[in-house]
Structure 1
Amino acid sequence: MTPGRVWAWVAAGFGAIYFALPLIGTFEFSLRARRGVYSFDAYRSVLADPQFQATFLYSVVMALLTIVMGVLIVTPTAFWVRLKLPSIRPVVEFITLLPLVIPPIVLVFGYIRLYNTASVLPLTGSTLGTNLLLMLGYTTLALPYMYRAVDTGLRTLDVRTITEAAQMLGAGWLTILARLILPNVLVAVLSGAFLTFAIVIGEYVLAALLNRPAFGPYMVWMGSNRAYEPAALAVIAFAVTWGCLGLIQLATRLAPHTRARR
């Protein structure tokens, strides 16, 4: 092995240790709920908690709704910008980066100020309205990741040729988007979707200040009131996040084989 390759492996090893040791320590601590022996009592306690089940289910539903909303907003926008308005693409990219710059607490206080019960549109006065605000907030937070994923997928396509050929065959815009563009960028959409899912599952600020029963506030509450269960909950959340990343990799690897069969 060349010296450069050796140092690359050494750096990778240090990086793996840096990330693995805290996780191993957290996992080991979560097994100490029963004195003197290792056990999964903390995990059983967390998984059997009705509040865990309710908050996790709520966050999963909100994540799925956020993914649908993100796909419906981002895919047509990225397609139209690349096809008809390439000159404003830097502006659109800048707008999609704003959620990384503006803190979520600013976003949620803006929601509360604009949509409180004294405003023209009192969304915070009802459960449905507050859930809608939370979903829109999640969509905003996931916008940078979803847009870049879809835009990267569109770069691999000759969008103009595909669109012109479909129009010559009599296809409308909805047909072009649903039957041509979306299937061809499905892997990119899935990448953005899994990242969105991971963001929603762990998000705290929006859900806490809008007083929604989400998984993020439950994790914080558990950390303030229990000893071993928070460590178990952290491992579970980490497993969910890495599961999403693994699904991204799986979808990316399966995509070439699927296209080859077609």
Structure 2
Amino acid sequence: MSKSARAALDYPALRRKLTKARARGMPDFLEDRGRRLLDAWLATSASEARPLPRTLARLASGDAAREIGEITGAQIRAEQPEVLTNAACAAGCAFCCILLEGDGGLIGEAEATALHGALAPFAGQPDGRAWHAHACAALDPETRQCRAYEARPTVCRSFLSVDAEACRENAEGGDEDGSGMLGNHLDYLTVLALSREVMRGTALLHTYSLEALAQAACDGAPLDAALKAARHPTSELEETCEDIGNSPS
């Protein structure tokens, strides 16, 4: 980025870029909602005089998207929707952590870094794969509880089920109903996609495979190597958004 471009970049410029940004693949209503959420975050950052370099770093790492997803998740939980009051999730259930399809979920660099830091102390020890070949490495193989629970990404925090038996059947290759994601995960992905567009020409926002990152950390890879091993192609975020846009409402 040139010196003149850096000099011209400020909070009003970021917010102007956001008005033109697209979360390609996402339905219009989610894109509009994500734009409002990110614009409010930028407005707050400006009003509190947060240093611009720090704000840019948080956008590029996905930490802004993580914070926004955390805020909207707290709002959803405060309303106590029926799906939450009927949730069947319990410590050690872990069927949702058997990753038969996909790669465990798309995460940003801030979440990937936090996950690596939480799992690095367990490097070389038996992990979730000792319980089940397709289990997330973050699991303790004996208790089947997450060793990185406090650092777990938005995709994990948002998942829930009202039918534990359906989760067990799905972990064996079934296709039962009863599980899903809270809406704040959609907020996270949408804001992540918009953040990438806002940062275009300044920094590249990378995304990562949760499964691959957890495995690399548990196998003892240092952070840089784990990030490299788990990094998605740049098309992955847009394809994830398209999958959501094409799914039945």
TM-score (norm 1): 0.28
TM-score (norm 2): 0.29
Task: Please identify which structure carries the higher helix content.
Answer: 1
Pick the structure with greater CA Rg.
1
Task: Please identify which structure carries the higher strand content.
Answer: 2
